[in-house]
Copies of this chain bind each other. A is one copy, B any other.
Amino acid sequence: MATTREGPAKRKRPGGRSARVRSAVLKATVEELAQGGYASFSFEKVAERAGVHKTTLYRRWGDRESLLLEAMLELGAERAPIPETGSLRKDLLKLARAIASSIPTPEVQAIVRAVISVGDRDPKLAEVARRFWSTRIELDAVIVDRAIERGEVPPDVNRELVVEALLAPMYFRLLMTGGRLDKKFLERLASFVAAGAGAEPR
């Protein structure tokens, strides 16, 4: 299809069409999950929703787990970019606020609950979750690296633990205790985690 659409786009900006297809497919992936859950999630449905041929999906992502991982990472990057304020506590607070405003959305809730409820029964999905979180925690840990470089925290601080200590209580409240992610809680949490990491108040 779309030789006429493809032609001009390719001439105007190389990669333009490819980037648009990627963006449409990742968006459709999230929407499909939010609407139908993981059980009915398929390349066919995503392709239909995105308005592309399903061979495009097979060629680019190979399997639905790879597509899901990329869609989750993209959603995370859009909703909660890595902050850089010059202070560990402020970076943690900014990240916490971004996450707190994104996790109650239907799309994020749908993905989180789908992954947890399927859990160990689907090793491929469990592997997607592990890879998503290890990538995401590694990205967020840059905040801690910068704090170490500034001399704000000791160089032997466990960078992944600092990130986990910030993220976990938010998901714990959202999924388990029903506690609120209000302004005061996020501020206390960020201060607590900065203190745990050994940062002096700034």
Which residues of A come within 8 Å of B, CB atoms?
Answer: 112-113, 115-117, 119, 126, 129-130, 133-134, 137, 158, 161-162, 164-165, 167-169, 171-173, 175-179, 185, 188-189, 192-193, 195-198
Q: When chains A and B are docked, how far (Å) is the Cα of A195 from the Cα of B195?
A: 6
Measured CB to CB, the nearest residue on chain B to A117 is B117
- Are B130 and A178 interface neighbours, CB within 8 A? yes
Measured CB to CB, the nearest residue on chain B to A170 is B168
Q: Apart from A137-B177, A165-B193, what are 9 other A-B pairs with CB-CB below 8 Å?
A: A113-B119, A115-B176, A116-B116, A129-B176, A134-B177, A161-B192, A168-B168, A171-B172, A172-B172
| A160 smallest CB distance to B (angstroms) | 8
- Are B176 and A133 interface neighbours, CB within 8 A? yes
- Are B172 and A168 interface neighbours, CB within 8 A? yes
Partner among B134, B162, B177 whose Cβ is within 8 Å of the Cβ of A133:
B177
Q: Which residues of B contact A168 (CB under 8 A)?
A: 168-169, 171-172
Q: Which residues of B contact A169 (CB under 8 A)?
A: 161, 164-165, 168
| A76 smallest CB distance to B (angstroms) | 13
A178-B133 contact in complex given A172-B167, A196-B192, C-beta closer than 8 Å: yes
- Are A161 and B177 interface neighbours, CB within 8 A? no
A176-B134 contact in complex given A189-B161, A196-B192, C-beta closer than 8 Å: no
Instruction: Name 7 interchain pairs, CB-CB below 8 A, sorted by A.
Output: A112-B176, A129-B178, A137-B177, A161-B185, A162-B192, A195-B195, A195-B198
